[in-house]
């Protein structure tokens, strides 16, 4: 059964004539995504500090949880927003990042990586890798612990968090402490059964997936590059512990589970939780979907145990 609140949201969007993303230009899709957040997202929770930063050319936004001093050294989550590598920005995910800071007691640095189609694959990967390295290099100034750095993200951002974990492992960087993968895209071939069973009627559709993928990756031959499809990496051994969260009515559900299983098979401590009655994108919709707040509390608890325990 689809969550009744999710059903009501989908029905409302149909009644209001909200255009499917794949029918919009990237510029219009970005505007619709920004505008919708006022309806679906809760009020931003207070935090103790917000900073606008820049890692070279990549804009960042850092926040610290309430009740901590400016001098206290905190673990840090580097967060990559969702939006199909085409839409989304620091503002669309500001509430989620604040909620994760509150729930985890960690600093959160959100990354405004370059988007397609203006900047094709692997530009987003390069920006996200650079951002994590910059956070580590600037740890003293940021008052964060370079030995307690996690990565995380939702949807396309979950894809990027998984890819960054692989890239840093392969480059011999210091190990990350944790990866938070919220309904991640892990296989650009989009062939898992849930792409068919959940491919229409639940917000994210097969048409929208093709739209996003086409804006991100120009050459289908690149779909099997592990930097696009982390599920296809040669090895998943030696990666940071993970929480993988999926939604039951999401086209990406099965590849999220497949990635959790690949991590576990490789000996990586991995937790997997599926919110069986939810839709793709629900994590940002805490104003209208109660389970979004439950899921963020779960993510915050996992981060707190991994980074502050």
Active centre residues (catalytic): 155, 250, 280
Relative to beta strand 178-182, strand 107-111 is: unpaired
Which DSSP state fits 89? -
What is the three-class DSSP state of 52? strand
| Two structure tokens written together for 187 | 């296989």
Q: Alpha-carbon Rg of the chain, whole angstroms? A: 18
Calpha distance 157→151 (Å, rounded): 10
Calpha distance 265→237 (Å, rounded): 9
- Please give the C-alpha separations between residue 105 and each of 21, 57, 72, 309, in angstroms, as whole numbers: 35, 28, 11, 11
Spatial CB neighbours of 273, under 8 Å, sequence gap ≥ 6:
243, 244, 245, 246, 298
Calpha distance 301→290 (Å, rounded): 17
Calpha distance 45→30 (Å, rounded): 24
Spatial CB neighbours of 56, under 8 Å, sequence gap ≥ 6:
130, 134
What is the three-class DSSP state of 9? helix
What is the three-class DSSP state of 69? coil
Calpha distance 299→152 (Å, rounded): 10
């Amino acid at each position: 059964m689809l969550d009744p609140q999710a059903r009501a949201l989908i029905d409302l969007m149909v009644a209001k004539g909200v255009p499917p993303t794949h029918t919009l230009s990237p510029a219009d899709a970005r505007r619709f995504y920004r505008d919708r957040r006022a309806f679906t997202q809760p009020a931003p929770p207070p935090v103790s500090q917000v900073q606008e930063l820049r890692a070279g050319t990549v804009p960042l936004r850092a926040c610290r949880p309430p009740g901590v001093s400016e001098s206290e050294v905190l673990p840090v989550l580097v967060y990559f927003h969702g939006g199909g590598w085409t839409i989304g920005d620091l503002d669309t995910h500001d509430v989620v990042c604040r909620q994760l800071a509150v729930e985890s007691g960690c600093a959160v640095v959100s990354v405004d990586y370059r988007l397609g189609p203006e900047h094709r694959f692997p530009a987003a990967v390069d920006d996200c890798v650079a951002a994590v390295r910059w956070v580590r290099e600037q740890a003293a100034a940021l008052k964060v612990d370079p030995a307690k750095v996690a990565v995380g993200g939702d949807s396309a951002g979950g894809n990027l968090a998984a890819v960054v974990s692989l890239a840093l492992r392969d480059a011999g960087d210091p190990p990350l402490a944790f990866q938070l993968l919220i309904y991640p895209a892990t296989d650009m071939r989009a062939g898992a059964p849930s792409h068919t069973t959940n491919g229409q009627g639940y917000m994210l559709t097969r048409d929208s997936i093709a739209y996003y993928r086409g804006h991100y990756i120009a050459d289908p031959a690149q779909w099997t590059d592990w930097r696009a499809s982390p599920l296809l990496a040669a090895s998943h051994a030696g990666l940071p512990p993970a929480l993988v969260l999926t939604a039951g009515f999401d086209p990406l559900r099965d590849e999220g589970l497949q990635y959790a299983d690949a991590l576990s098979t490789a000996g990586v401590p991995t937790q997997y939780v599926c919110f069986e009655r939810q839709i793709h994108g629900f994590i940002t919709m805490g104003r209208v979907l109660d389970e979004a707040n439950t899921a963020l509390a779960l993510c915050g608890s996992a981060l707190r145990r991994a980074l502050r325990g």
